[in-house]
Amino acid sequence: MSEQKKQWSLSIGTYPGILFGMRSYEEEGQTTHVFYLPLIDIALEVYK
């Protein structure tokens, strides 16, 4: 049985401030899409 690599992850964090929006970060091994809501951010990391 071969082990499958996890292809995505979802995380929730906090930040000081009020912001609405979305931003994507392109990296060599993954792309991170971050959704900003007041006081929290939700990050979806998609692995390549």
Calculate the alpha carbon distances from 13 to 10, 35, 42, 45 in Å.
Answer: 10, 10, 6, 13
Query: Would the pTM count as exceeding 0.75?
Result: yes
The pLDDT confidence band at residue 7, using thresholds 50, 70 and 90, is very high
Q: What percent of the chain has pLDDT over 70?
A: 92
Residue spans of the domains in the chain: they are 8-47
Give the amino acid at 32: T
DSSP one-letter string for 1-48: -PPPPP-EEEEEEE-SS---EEEEEE-SSEEEEEEEETTEEEEEEEE-
